[in-house]
């Protein structure tokens, strides 16, 4: 039996980052992975989807070349080549993680890991051989998968999840996307941009329901303008797959209707990978599909920890990474502060992009806070107009008395690269006046942040 200081179960953006930081801190580290290094994010999520979205964006640019005074004739797409490019990007990133494992002297153990009592993990390899390993600290980072609804049992062919959506052999002529969170909206944009007739069905009254209401309304307008059909306060109650395509029965306030399409993409959330990993062998406590942990990701059993999607925090790659780093730094007796889950940015990479952090206007008002709200549209931004991307705006929310930056919500081109300004400023407890007096470069999209703050304080110049 091999002994380690730290064993990490799962190699996604939580697991591999945790392993690297543990190695940097002088621990002898092993990481266990049943598939490809990098987990869902690098192989089937964050990275390959962005490659698909970029191809769709370039295709859209070429189709509208004349808007920029250019000519591009006979523009077409090769769907198979687009998918292959996405897979190539994912493969390259996974190989990058392999390099990082070697560089940091982390032992990679291939196989399916099962937790055992006494700080042990049993790993079954592809040949069925089992080997037991032990460590002083075992960190669970097994992530999550696409959640299935009883009315939408995924068959991988006509009712699919995000994995199949990234590797379809042929582009469907029509598609129903169930769920309008980040995954559903990104795929709806991609397939629509590539020429598929897309209908989005959302159970709640607005799409991207976790976002500020103004963001949801703007995105719905933009997506409808692009040709995406959107049905909110709607539920898919059943799907008939007996014919060539599918017939989805959708229940709305007006009654039931049947939508015919080639395929259904179920994007109704995620299910954590906590079954069959041995939690019951150890006695680790769970609640509602999550492993219970304290502020430093320690479970109720000493020596066992959990990070990422399997814990109650936001199911985001950057959250998993931050949790893993904090976890091992606490193990190393470093001084660490619990993660501030109120200052976690969220991003959706459709066109226009969405990025947000902190309270929405509705949440701030429900808390009874006296607030100042400022908005600045990209239609008034010189950089956005010159780039041909005037859709969207920046919205900021401040505490009226103390100037605390309570929330920032953006929709527009490249805003996922802009939101970090608000995250850092909130971390540093920067006030609205300090943002207003920090000179922003011109012409840039980021000027819209300063202008939105100025609008909140009745000092806006360009609106």
The residues carrying an active-site annotation are 442
Buried b / exposed e over 331-340, threshold 16 CB at 10 Å, is: bbeeebeebe
Phi first, then psi: what are they for 86, rounded to 5°?
-60, -45
Q: To 10 degrees, the CA torsion angle through 256, 261, 264, 265?
A: -110
Instruction: Provide CB contacts within 8 A for 56, sequence distance 6+.
Output: 82, 189, 190, 193, 194, 351
Q: Are strands 174-178 and 263-266 parallel, antiparallel or unpaired?
A: parallel
Phi first, then psi: what are they for 248, rounded to 5°?
-100, 125
């Amino acid at each position: 039996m091999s002994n380690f200081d730290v064993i990490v179960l799962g190699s996604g953006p939580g697991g591999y980052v945790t392993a690297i930081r543990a190695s940097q801190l002088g621990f002898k580290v092993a990481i266990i992975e049943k598939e490809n290094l990098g987990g869902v994010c690098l192989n089937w999520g964050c990275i390959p989807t962005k490659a698909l979205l970029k191809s769709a964006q370039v295709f859209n640019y070429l189709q509208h070349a004349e808007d920029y005074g250019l000519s591009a004739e006979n523009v077409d797409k090769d769907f198979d080549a687009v998918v292959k490019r996405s897979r190539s990007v994912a493969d390259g990133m996974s190989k990058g993680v392999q390099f990082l494992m070697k560089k940091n002297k982390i032992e990679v153990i291939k196989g399916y890991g099962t937790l055992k009592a006494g700080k042990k993990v049993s790993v079954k390899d592809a040949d069925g051989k089992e080997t037991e390993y032990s460590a002083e600290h075992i960190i669970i980072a097994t992530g999550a998968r696409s959640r299935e609804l009883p009315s939408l049992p995924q068959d991988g062919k006509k009712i699919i999840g995000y994995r199949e959506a990234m590797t379809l052999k042929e582009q469907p002529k029509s598609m129903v996307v169930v769920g309008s969170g980040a995954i559903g909206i990104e795929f709806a944009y991609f397939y629509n941009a590539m020429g598929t007739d897309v209908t989005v069905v959302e159970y709640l009254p607005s799409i991207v329901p976790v976002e500020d209401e103004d963001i949801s309304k703007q995105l719905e307008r933009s997506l409808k303008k692009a040709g995406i059909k959107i049905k909110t306060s709607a539920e898919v109650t059943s799907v008939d797959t007996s014919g060539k395509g599918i017939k989805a029965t959708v229940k709305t306030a007006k009654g039931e209707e049947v939508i015919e399409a080639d395929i259904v993409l179920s994007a109704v959330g995620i299910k954590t990978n906590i079954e069959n990993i041995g939690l019951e062998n150890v006695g680790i406590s769970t609640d509602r599909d999550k492993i219970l942990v304290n502020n430093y990701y320690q479970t109720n059993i000493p020596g066992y920890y959990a990070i990422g999607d399997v814990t109650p925090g936001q199911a985001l790659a950057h959250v998993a990474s931050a949790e893993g780093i904090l976890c091992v730094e606490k193990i190393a007796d470093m001084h660490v502060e619990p993660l501030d889950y109120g200052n976690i940015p969220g991003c959706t990479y459709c066109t226009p992009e969405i990025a947000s952090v902190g309270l929405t206007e509705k949440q701030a008002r429900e808390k009874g806070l006296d607030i100042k709200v400022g908005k600045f549209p990209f239609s008034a931004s010189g950089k956005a107009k010159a780039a041909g991307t005037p859709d969207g705006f920046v919205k900021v929310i401040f505490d009226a008395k103390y100037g605390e930056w309570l929330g920032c919500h953006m929709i527009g081109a490249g805003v996922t690269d802009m939101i970090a300004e608000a995250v850092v400023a909130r971390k540093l407890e920067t006030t609205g006046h300090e943002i207003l007096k920090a000179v922003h470069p011109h012409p840039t999209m980021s000027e819209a942040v300063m202008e939105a703050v100025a609008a909140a304080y009745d000092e806006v110049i360009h609106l």
